[in-house]
């Protein structure tokens, strides 16, 4: 599998890269890693890191590097980081999961659901149905319409794919393309992708406020 942790994390505020910052004393990336490195059906994990950190990772991460876990330098965009991770996977890996290193609370049930769906031959996206009212807004913040939410889901990670499918999708990636997730590339290629119901606890930590929410959640879950 590939864990994407190569972003600068500018919206989280000044300091070290957000993926290395602690949540209740545990680095966020380590929290994101543990559910996968402890999973019996996941044999190899590649972590895409910011340039410079793949060769000089934090000590707590360097200790984990070995036969089962490898580090690679990420690219300028999330998609290019994923592609670097895919290239580093051993040839025998037939099913690929991709997860954001900024999602530290993924559950075993979600991993199992995505893995099972991907093994069946289709793409799989951990997602939750929208419960909020959704508005379409133009440049001056004027609402133009209310979007029906009955068929809308919020995509999260992990996302899983047969390896041939995701490599085909990334094989057509243009240098200036900026897909926001992996399923988007498969959708563009006409490849089948399905949702797997996820937990709202599987939040993505992006801002300083998100870190405060993550701290509270970590206290509840420990």
Delimit the domains of the chain by residue range. 2-221
Quick one: DSSP state of residue 148?
P
Model pLDDT for residues 192-213, shown as the tens digit of each residue? 999 999 999 999 999 999 999 9
> For residue 119, what pLDDT is reported?
98
> For residue 174, what pLDDT is reported?
75
Query: Which CATH code is given to the segment(s) 2-221?
Result: 3.90.550.10
Q: Provide CB contacts within 8 A for 175, sequence distance 6+.
A: none
> For residue 107, what pLDDT is reported?
97
> For residue 10, what pLDDT is reported?
54
* 3-class secondary structure, 196: strand
Quick one: DSSP state of residue 76?
S
> For residue 13, what pLDDT is reported?
57
> For residue 161, what pLDDT is reported?
98
Model pLDDT for residues 70-81, shown as the tens digit of each residue? 999 999 899 999
Quick one: DSSP state of residue 130?
-
Residue 39 binned pLDDT confidence (cut-offs 50, 70, 90): very high
Model pLDDT for residues 145-189, shown as the tens digit of each residue? 999 999 999 999 999 999 999 999 998 777 667 888 999 999 999
Residue 42 binned pLDDT confidence (cut-offs 50, 70, 90): very high
Q: Name the average pLDDT for the chain.
A: 93
């Amino acid at each position: 599998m590939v864990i994407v942790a190569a972003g600068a994390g500018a919206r989280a505020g000044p300091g070290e890269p957000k993926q290395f910052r602690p949540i209740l004393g545990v680095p966020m990336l380590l929290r994101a890693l543990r559910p996968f490195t402890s999973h019996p059906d996941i044999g190899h994990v590649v972590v895409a890191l910011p340039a410079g950190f793949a060769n000089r990772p934090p000590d707590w991460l360097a200790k984990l590097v070995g036969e089962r876990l490898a580090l690679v330098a990420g690219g300028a965009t999330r998609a290019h980081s994923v592609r670097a991770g895919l290239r580093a996977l051993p040839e025998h890996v037939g099913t690929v999961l991709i997860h954001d290193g900024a999602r530290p609370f993924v559950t075993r049930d979600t991993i199992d659901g995505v893995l099972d769906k991907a093994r069946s031959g289709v793409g799989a996206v951990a997602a939750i149905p929208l419960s909020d009212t959704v508005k379409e807004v133009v440049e001056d913040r004027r609402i133009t319409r209310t979007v029906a939410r009955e068929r809308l889901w919020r995509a999260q990670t992990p996302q899983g794919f047969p390896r041939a499918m995701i490599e085909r999708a990334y094989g057509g990636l243009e240098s200036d393309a900026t897909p926001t997730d992996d399923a988007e590339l498969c959708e563009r290629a006409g490849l089948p992708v399905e949702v797997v119901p996820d937990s709202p606890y599987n939040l993505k930590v992006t801002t300083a406020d998100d870190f405060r929410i993550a701290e509270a959640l970590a206290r509840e879950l420990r």
